[in-house]
Amino acid sequence: MCRSLAIALLPVLLSCGAPPPPAKVQSAPSGKEILRILLSQRDVPLRSDASCATAGTSDTDTDIGDYVSGWLAELKEGQGRNWIESSSKPEGSGWRCVVMFRHLDGDDRWGWGVSFLVNQADRRVVPGSLRCVGAG
């Protein structure tokens, strides 16, 4: 009886001490994915962070969608150089992602954008991590 009980419990006993499989490390988000993630945040209110509370291109901007749309509209064709930069670097259990809208026309130089943390496990923005960044 003891032998049959030991045989029956053997799989359970062996599984108790087994280490968990190593976590799969995903690559950093691509530029396209960073932009897609940013666009998914369009309904986040600007008032959700002090860095965004008074940011934007007009007084009527209320959310990240307004903020991003305003800066994209400023990238007018034929007036200097305009471009969009996206980047990511490891931070905590994910990546710090930054999207910048840049303009250069003689002395007229500016760059405005958004910074946010993306969770490695689910590729979602960490709540409360979104910041408006830039200067001009």
Supply the pLDDT for residue 26. 78
Per-residue pLDDT, averaged over 24-53, amounts to 93
* Total of domains in the chain: 1
Question: Is 11 domain-assigned?
Answer: no
From 81, 128, 111, 97, select the one nearest 29 (Cα to Cα).
97
Question: Is 101 domain-assigned?
Answer: yes
Each residue of 92-109: pLDDT tens digit?
999 999 999 999 988 889
CB distance 57 to 113 below 8 Å = no
Question: Is 10 domain-assigned?
Answer: no
Each residue of 59-88: pLDDT tens digit?
999 999 999 999 999 888 667 899 999 999
Question: Is 2 domain-assigned?
Answer: no
Question: Is 42 domain-assigned?
Answer: yes
pTM: 0.78
Supply the pLDDT for residue 40. 97
DSSP character string of 56-123: SSSTT--BHHHHHHHHHHH--TTSSEEEEEEEEEEETTEEEEEEEEEEEETTEEEEEEEEEEEETTT-
Each residue of 108-134: pLDDT tens digit?
899 999 999 999 999 999 999 999 999
Per the structure, the complete domain to which residue 81 belongs is given by: 28-135
Question: Is 61 domain-assigned?
Answer: yes
Supply the pLDDT for residue 12. 44
Per-residue pLDDT, averaged over 34-42, amounts to 97
